[in-house]
Chain A
């Protein structure tokens, strides 16, 4: 029982997803029946191979139980327990309350959803939209605010937790009013609070310059309170600038230079990317292309492509080798886009040897090129006159599953037919292979249809390799598929036949062309009569 998938990359994705779902099935069993998996053979103990304990251990109403539930991320249970503790009159320490506030604000007052969906799906879904406001929006009398109100002396941490929760769940104006409360209580905010407020700033004001002024105010206050900005601050400012339109673009440059002056962040992804960005055609591009803080890599590529800068492209590719930057490359879709752009840039700009070196390095270990990329590659081969590599490329095309893409195959045939060098044998093999591709129509495979050009190309290739018999069969296909052969094709055929001296074939050729009512039939007849000794019947 065979199944042919359209390409290697889809097969790879399918198989890795099925393996992942098998693992999830096993995990379900392990966590549902943990008593069978308790016996510990391993010395030293391997905690990740034990079943997960999802139930809280400590039952009594105490602070330790609260801490445990916070660790296990059980939001609702923790809140209940806190209420019970309050009612019983036990004082809960500020630290623990702060942790509880953090928990609530992070998970939005409800338990985190169980992860049943395989990881790939979630990312692709949420990728292209700006993450819309999450389902939970800060309700009027929710637990976070309630518990906060119960605190006798909230400290910086509590305010920070509350403000960040509000910003995360789109309650922006509330966040700012809480911030004012904090200032009124003469407390200092920490860097995380400021980051959250900067992210929230564009949502609170209408006009671009008001937004920018608010951000500047926040930064000034940060400086006053002697809070050092960090990498996340930079990210937040840039993200916010994205919403500020043209004003944002002009402000981005000075922001970055200031941040560089403060030497924000170690050799992390973003700060590494910036020097490169600054070298290239203006960093206005950067702000507009910085769509998601996590996937700037192929946006850099978009930019490189616009400017056709191959050096830039190489530098960005090297960036990927540094430290953790490979994570920037994202999941399959983004990876494909990145490599597709890289290859098309290479095909355009570099000569064929370099291109082939990259091709052999990356394909198929890292990337399965699409049929468009293969067409670009063929064009590059053509430009550099390396058409002798076509048989190898054809093998690769077959392996990648692109052998039934009409455009690609037609391009290949045209190139082969044009080439008049000594590669005839191998070209002829390829041509016959391609013919088989047209014929076999397995269920599920896309069937290609013959065109006049593709038929003529195949015939010319076969004739060049002196394979008259095969060429003859293909000539017959013209009739079956309702295509008309061209004049030069028939002439070429006639020349071949004259070389071989097959009179019958010549007559048949004339009959075929007469069957198509081609205008040059009389000329053909003349030539045949001239060249050959025809018997009476054949006349």
Chain B
């Protein structure tokens, strides 16, 4: 955000310089030819949250009088990227993050791409690393499916 002062009478002009992020294009998969498979999460658009979809991130900082919402968002973004990279190609759907008190629960659905022992290795690694990073206990609840669960084709 840049401000320029034209006259000492304090005339400000602000320039917004982030990437364009249209609110009517976010998290919506547009209808196409019919060959693109889409999960339940992806099929329903953001205005269906609360009606046909649940929340992907559950914490109490959006309640009246609670603070820390922005920090939680940043943590969530980091955790999602971390999971995407660590379990590369194995995530079947979005990661759900729940916070109960001090505990951070990461719920993920994985495709059975790796051996179970490798999954356990990565789970141990992720839990330990994230606990030390965020200074709170982190638990991963994982479920595996054979293939990505397709809801419909768009």
Interface residues of chain A, those whose CB is within 8 Å of chain B, are 1, 3, 11, 14-16, 18-23, 25-27, 29-30, 36-37, 40-42, 46, 49-51
Q: Is B133 an interface residue (CB 8 A)?
A: yes
Q: Are A37 and B128 in contact (CB under 8 A)?
A: no
Is B81 positioned at the interface, with any CB of A under 8 Å from its CB?
no
| Pick from A3, A16, A26, A40: contact of B115, CB under 8 Å | A3
A42 to B135, CA, bound (A): 6
**Which one of B19-27, B38-46, B52-60, B118-126 is at the A interface?**
B118-126
B136 touches A23 (CB 8 A): no
Count A/B pairs, Cβ under 8 Å: 69
Q: Which residues of B contact A42 (CB under 8 A)?
A: 135-136
| Chain B residues in the interface with A (C-beta under 8 A) | 112-113, 115-118, 120-129, 131-136
Residue in B116, B120, B123, B124 with the greatest tally of chain A CB atoms within 10 Å:
B124
**Could you tell me if A19 and B120 are in contact, using CB atoms closer than 8 angstroms?**
yes
Closest B residue to A20 by beta carbon equals B124
Task: Give the distance in Å from the alpha carbon of A162 to the alpha carbon of B128 in the complex.
Answer: 40
Majority secondary structure of chain A interface residues (helix, strand, loop or mixed): helix
Q: How far is the CB of A11 from chain B (nearest CB, A)?
A: 8
Give the CA-CA distance A27 to B129 in the complex, in Å: 7
Q: How far is the CA of A11 from the CA of B50 in the complex (A)?
A: 41
Q: Which residues on B sit within 8 Å (CB–CB) of A49?
A: 131-132, 135-136
A23 touches B125 (CB 8 A): yes
Residues of A within 8 A of B134 (CB): 41
**Measured CA separation A14–B115 after assembly (Å):** 11
A11-B116 Cα distance, complex, nearest whole Å? 9
Q: Are A21 and B116 in contact (CB under 8 A)?
A: no
* Cβ contact within 8 Å between A30 and B129: yes
Instruction: Give CA–CA (A332, B142) in the complex, Å.
Output: 26
Question: CA A30 – CA B120 in complex, angstroms?
Answer: 19
Given known pairs A19-B123, A41-B136, A46-B135, the reply for A26 and B128 (CB within 8 Å) is yes
Question: Which of B113, B129, B135 is in CB contact (< 8 Å) with A41?
Answer: B135
Contacts A3-B116, A15-B116, A15-B117 given: A22-B124 contact, CB under 8 Å?
Answer: yes
A-B contact pairs, 14 of them (CB 8 A): A1-B113, A3-B115, A3-B116, A14-B117, A22-B123, A22-B124, A22-B126, A26-B124, A26-B127, A29-B129, A41-B136, A46-B135, A49-B132, A50-B135
The reply to whether A18 and B135 contact each other, CB–CB distance below 8 Å, is no
Query: Does B132 contact A51, Cβ atoms closer than 8 Å?
Result: yes
CB distance from B121 to the nearest CB of A (A): 4
Q: How far is B101's CA from A42's CA once the two chains are assembled, in angstroms?
A: 12
